[in-house]
């Protein structure tokens, strides 16, 4: 199948920059301006991450603030063996998951083995056509994507967000979540398949472009 070349998707874009460690070092010595530079670099990404994890703007804002405050006060513990950004993501993920646990204590269980039982084979197999997104206005498409991802179990959602939206590597994602690389890969596969199934009703041919909103 020439149309199915193993071209990596998505393309990973680097974050940070060669000078990141300089700012980290200065911030570690108490230079608030250097820390502000790091905040400026990552505030958008951390807010988006927090929003994707918590699904709630108020919680996301609190996570954003707490993540940067904790990062600054714990800079001494940053070993420098990973990127500062990965370390910051780990703090933000922990804050976000804590918020979710407080809200829905029985749903969030990243340390639990999830993968063993369910059958991976997709239930719905239909083509979407070449440009399914063109059936929706941009804002409507974004709503569909947001609702689909919000409906994933947090354990899958977090892995998908880190790998496919924040574009961390499997190793960085494993580090950020304190789980193994095989667990990351397994959850990513399931997250991708579940999202595909959730989007399927919107994009399969012959459907009304605006199906009823799924129950939330």
Partner 1 sequence: MDCRAVIRELSEYLDGELDRTLFEEVERHLAHCQDCRLVVNTTKKTIEFYCNSAPLPLPEDVRNRLHAALATRLKRPSP
Helix intervals (H) in 131-216? 138-150, 154-160, 170-177, 181-203
* Nearer to partner 1 among residue 37 and residue 105 (C-beta): 37
* Nearer to partner 1 among residue 106 and residue 115 (C-beta): 115
Cα–Cα distances (Å) from 118 to 56, 100, 122, 158, in that order, read: 29, 24, 11, 19
Output the smallest distance, CB 45 to partner 1, in A.
8
* Nearer to partner 1 among residue 8 and residue 105 (C-beta): 8
Q: Hey, how many other C-beta atoms are within 10 angstroms of the C-beta on 208? A: 9
* Nearer to partner 1 among residue 81 and residue 139 (C-beta): 139
* Nearer to partner 1 among residue 81 and residue 126 (C-beta): 126
* Nearer to partner 1 among residue 78 and residue 128 (C-beta): 128
Output the smallest distance, CB 195 to partner 1, in A.
5
Can you tell me the distance from the alpha carbon of 40 to that of 169, in angstroms, rounded to the nearest whole number? Answer: 23
Q: Is residue 125 packed enough to be buried (19+ CB in 10 Å), middle (13-18) or exposed (0-12)?
A: exposed
Output the smallest distance, CB 199 to partner 1, in A.
6
Of residues 183, 149, 184, the one with CA closest to residue 169: 184
Q: In the complex, which residues of this chain contact partner 1 (CB under 8 A)?
A: 1, 4, 6-10, 30, 32, 35-36, 39, 43-45, 47-48, 51, 61, 64-65, 68-69, 72-73, 120-122, 125-128, 132-133, 138, 141-142, 145, 149, 160, 164-165, 167, 185, 188-189, 192-193, 195-196, 199-200, 203
Output the smallest distance, CB 75 to partner 1, in A.
11
Can you tell me the distance from the alpha carbon of 209 to that of 157, in angstroms, rounded to the nearest whole number? Answer: 26
Of residues 4, 151, 18, 27, the one with CA closest to residue 88: 27
Output the smallest distance, CB 47 to partner 1, in A.
5
Output the smallest distance, CB 163 to partner 1, in A.
9
């Amino acid at each position: 199948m020439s149309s199915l070349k193993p071209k990596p998707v998505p393309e990973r874009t680097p974050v940070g920059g060669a000078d990141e460690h300089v700012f980290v070092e200065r911030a570690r010595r108490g230079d608030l301006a250097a820390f502000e530079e790091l905040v400026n670099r990552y505030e958008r990404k951390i807010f988006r991450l927090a929003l994707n994890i918590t699904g709630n703007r108020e919680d996301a804002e609190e996570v954003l603030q707490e993540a940067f405050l904790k990062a600054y006060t714990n800079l001494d513990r940053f070993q420098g063996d990973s990127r500062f950004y990965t370390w910051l993501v780990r703090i933000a993920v922990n804050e976000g998951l804590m918020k979710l646990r407080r809200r829905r204590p029985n749903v969030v269980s990243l340390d639990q083995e999830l993968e063993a039982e369910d059958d991976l084979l997709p239930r719905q197999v239909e083509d979407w056509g070449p440009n399914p997104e063109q059936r929706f206005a941009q804002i409507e498409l974004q709503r569909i994507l947001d609702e689909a991802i919000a409906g994933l179990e947090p354990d899958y959602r977090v892995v998908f967000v880190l790998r496919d939206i924040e574009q961390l590597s499997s190793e960085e994602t494993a580090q950020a979540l304190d789980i193994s690389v095989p667990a990351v890969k397994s959850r990513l596969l399931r997250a991708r398949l579940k999202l595909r199934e959730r989007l399927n009703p919107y994009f399969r041919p012959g459907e009304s472009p605006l199906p009823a909103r799924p129950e939330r």
